[in-house]
């Protein structure tokens, strides 16, 4: 069940940005022990300060950064440039193993790998690696569970467990990068080129840690993983103040808005946060983001049979987006078990797409692989909790 409604205190990360949420929604993480501090939670200066606190020279932190972000290792045995007597202590204090792979599923001849992770407190999250010709995308979780309660989403039904730390987010990408570098993914050794925050959670409800993760992912090696900012996509259901704050960060990451309906009547039901920030406000924030960054905003629209896939809604969506720096991603919904929400008929999907295209709105239907992945968002963890 979604967590009960609570006023969000300003001291909660993201709380000032997501405050005043409607009944049934929450951005407040559960009362769990936070994960231990990790090097990837800190900027380079913070890492050196942490090394000093351990009685070590600051440059030891730089050495550890190189191991983690360049060599993709957190195993003290690999760290032969550190004094043998200090390796275990340094790695234990600054590179604790935060996530354990509980289960791995592959499809598309091994080029899609979905991992269910267990955090140290037992929380489950998942990530997906997708290799395409010429690029590799990691889809990561930003929260364990989600407090946004979208009724068609398995994760939303389970509610929010807690925010992930920046290092827990980065660890999902490092694990993918390691598998790629080791040649474990068909296609030969490779690198992660794109990261999308479209796994479990509402990224902008965990603003500070997501931003920290974006910095670690995009800082040049060895301070970070050196992924291009343009390769990062942060998605949101429409937390308007947080979109505004992200626009002012001076980053060039892409924003994806999960719209799912062009009219407030339906969106209030499909994306309950719409009761707080209406379609017009969300899109105004999105266009301001596009103006500030020069990046085209991605409008995500899950096509749900007889719910939001009518031709008139395609026309309404086209009117909202006409002339804007936007691109629509249509996602055929892959239903969660036992759900009354299901994918649109292919003919309705084609009609919806054609109506947008006819009005000059750039639109694509997410490919089969993306559909499978999106449909499975939250399902792997949900299945595991059920013992399936």
Q: Which residues 37-56 are close enough to bind ligand SF4 by CB under 6 A?
A: none
Query: Are the C-beta atoms of 321 and 299 separated by less than 8 Å?
Result: yes
Residues forming beta bridges with residue 139, ordered by sequence position: 128, 196
**102 is an active site residue:** no
Q: How many Å apart are CA 107 and CA 369, to the nearest integer? A: 9
Residues 29, 35, 76, 156: which binds ligand SF4 (CB under 6 A)? 156
Minimum gap (Å) between residue 22 Cβ and ligand SF4? 13
Residue 150 is a binding residue for ligand SF4 (CB under 6 A): yes
Residue number, 144 or 174, with CB nearest to ligand SF4: 144
Minimum gap (Å) between residue 248 Cβ and ligand SF4? 23
Residue number, 147 or 231, with CB nearest to ligand SF4: 147
Residue 146 is a binding residue for ligand SF4 (CB under 6 A): yes
Minimum gap (Å) between residue 112 Cβ and ligand SF4? 19
Residues 8, 129, 148, 251: which binds ligand SF4 (CB under 6 A)? 148
Q: Give the three-state DSSP class for 139.
A: strand
Residue 188, burial from CB neighbour count under 10 angstroms (0-12, 13-18, 19+)? exposed
The b-or-e profile of 374-383 (16+ CB within 10 A means b, else e) is bbbbbbbbbe
Minimum gap (Å) between residue 382 Cβ and ligand SF4? 11
Residue number, 56 or 161, with CB nearest to ligand SF4: 161
Residues 74, 168, 202, 223: which binds ligand SF4 (CB under 6 A)? 202
DSSP 308-338: T--HHHHHHHHHHHTTSSEEEEEEE--PPTT
The helix (H) or strand (E) run that includes residue 181 is: helix 166-181
Q: Which of the stretches 148-156, 173-181, 292-300, 308-316 binds ligand SF4 when contact is defined by CB under 6 A?
A: 148-156
Residue 286 is a binding residue for ligand SF4 (CB under 6 A): no
Query: Are the C-beta atoms of 127 and 143 separated by less than 8 Å?
Result: no
The residue number with the shortest CB distance to ligand SF4 is 156
Residue 21 is a binding residue for ligand SF4 (CB under 6 A): no
Q: Which of the stretches 143-151, 186-194, 326-334, 363-371 binds ligand SF4 when contact is defined by CB under 6 A?
A: 143-151
The b-or-e profile of 312-344 (16+ CB within 10 A means b, else e) is ebbbbbbebbeebbbbbbbbbbbbbeeeebbbb
Residue number, 79 or 270, with CB nearest to ligand SF4: 270
Report the residue count for the chain. 388
Query: Are the C-beta atoms of 363 and 351 separated by less than 8 Å?
Result: no
Alpha-carbon Rg for the chain, nearest whole angstrom, is 21
Residues 39, 171, 237, 246: which binds ligand SF4 (CB under 6 A)? 237
Minimum gap (Å) between residue 192 Cβ and ligand SF4? 22
Residue number, 67 or 254, with CB nearest to ligand SF4: 254
CA-CA-CA-CA torsion sign (277, 281, 283, 284): negative
Angle at alpha carbon of residue 267, lines to 146 and 371, rounded to 5°:
60
Nearest to 205 by CA among 258, 243, 167: 243
Residues 142, 155, 206, 233: which binds ligand SF4 (CB under 6 A)? 155
Residue 153 is a binding residue for ligand SF4 (CB under 6 A): yes
Using CB under 6 A, count the residues that bind ligand SF4.
11
DSSP classification of residue 219: S
**146 is an active site residue:** no
Residue 374 is a binding residue for ligand SF4 (CB under 6 A): no
Residue number, 56 or 163, with CB nearest to ligand SF4: 163
Q: Which of the stretches 27-35, 123-131, 151-159, 173-181 binds ligand SF4 when contact is defined by CB under 6 A?
A: 151-159
Q: Which of the stretches 37-45, 116-124, 150-158, 216-224 binds ligand SF4 when contact is defined by CB under 6 A?
A: 150-158
282 φ, ψ (degrees, to nearest 5): -65, -45
> For the packed helices 279-293 and 240-247, what is the interaxial angle rounded to 10 degrees?
10
Minimum gap (Å) between residue 168 Cβ and ligand SF4? 16
Residue 300 is a binding residue for ligand SF4 (CB under 6 A): no
Report cis status (omega within 30 of 0) of the bond before 222.
yes
Q: Which residues bind ligand SF4 (CB under 6 A)?
A: 146, 148-150, 153, 155-156, 200-202, 237
Known catalytic residues are 126, 377
């Amino acid at each position: 069940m979604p967590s009960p409604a609570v006023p969000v205190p300003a001291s909660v990360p993201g709380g000032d940005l997501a405050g005043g949420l409607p009944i049934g929604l929450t951005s407040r993480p559960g009362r769990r022990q936070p994960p231990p501090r990790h090097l990837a939670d800190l900027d380079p200066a913070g890492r050196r300060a942490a090394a000093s606190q351990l009685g070590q020279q600051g440059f030891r932190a730089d050495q550890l950064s190189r191991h983690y972000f360049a060599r993709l290792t957190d195993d003290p045995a690999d760290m032969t440039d550190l004094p043998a007597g200090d390796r275990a202590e340094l790695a234990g204090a600054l590179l604790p193993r935060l996530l354990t792979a509980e289960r791995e599923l592959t499809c598309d001849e091994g080029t899609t790998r979905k991992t269910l992770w267990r955090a140290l407190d037992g929380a489950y999250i998942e990530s997906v690696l997708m290799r395409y010709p010429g690029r590799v995308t990691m889809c990561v979780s930003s929260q364990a569970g989600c407090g946004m309660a979208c009724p068609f989403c398995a994760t939303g039904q389970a509610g929010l467990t807690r925010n992930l730390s920046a290092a827990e987010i980065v660890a999902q990408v490092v694990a993918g990068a390691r598998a790629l570098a080791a040649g474990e993914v068909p296609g030969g050794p490779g690198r992660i080129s794109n990261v999308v925050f479209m796994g479990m959670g509402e990224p902008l409800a965990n603003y500070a840690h997501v931003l920290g993760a974006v910095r670690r992912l995009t800082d040049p090696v060895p301070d970070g993983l050196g992924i291009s900012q343009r390769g990062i996509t942060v998605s949101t259901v429409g937390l308007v103040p947080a979109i505004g704050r992200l626009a002012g960060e001076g980053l060039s990451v892409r924003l994806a808005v999960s719209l799912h309906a062009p009219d407030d009547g339906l969106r209030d039901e499909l994306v309950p946060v719409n009761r707080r920030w209406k379609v017009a406000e969300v899109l105004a924030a999105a266009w301001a983001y596009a103006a500030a960054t020069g990046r085209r905003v991605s409008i995500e629209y899950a096509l749900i049979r007889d719910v939001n896939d009518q031709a008139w809604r395609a026309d309404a969506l086209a009117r909202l987006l006409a002339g804007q720096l936007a691109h629509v991603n249509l996602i055929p919904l892959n239903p969660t078990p036992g759900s009354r929400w299901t994918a649109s008929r292919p003919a309705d999907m084609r009609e919806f797409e054609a109506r947008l295209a006819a009005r000059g709105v750039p639109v694509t239907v997410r490919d089969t692989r993306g559909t499978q992945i999106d449909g499975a968002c939250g399902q792997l963890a949900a299945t595991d909790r059920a013992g399936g």
